Structure 1
Amino acid sequence: MARPRGQKHPVRLSVSLEEKDHAAISRLAADMNLSTAWIVRRAIAEFVKRYESGAQTELSLIRRSSKEI
């Protein structure tokens, strides 16, 4: 999903990932000849679109303490 042509100043976001998740995204990016940033942007855009449309999601948006995870 390309960035809209009119968007000149995207917002930067820093996210920490678990090593296994970063490795998985890196493998996907390499296999698909894409950047990891593109994959993350696409995943976020799709999640937001589903959330805004009222679609059910399996991801719980209630934050749990690290002891519960």
Structure 2
Amino acid sequence: MTGVAILAYVVAMLVLALHLAHGVWMAAHDLGVTGTRTRTALKVTAGVLAILVLVGNASIPVAVQLGVLA
């Protein structure tokens, strides 16, 4: 993989993470979650889930480029 391909993949994973966080948040909103504490907890959960997916998926091509994975 070239550096440009890895960069494009990482950017795509960033967009996926933003989409995922927004989707979780909007699903909760559509289901009528209105409590302040619950909404805050869902925002945090959506953000953490998005970050985990981003780091997990983006680490694969970086690890291959660094020679950690074959």
Say yes or no: TM over 0.5.
no
The structure number with the bigger radius of gyration is: 2
Structure in which a larger fraction of residues adopt helix: 2
Normalised-by-shorter TM-score class: 0.3 to 0.5
TM-score normalized by structure 2?
0.32
Which structure has the higher relative contact order (CA within 8 Å, separation 6+)? 2
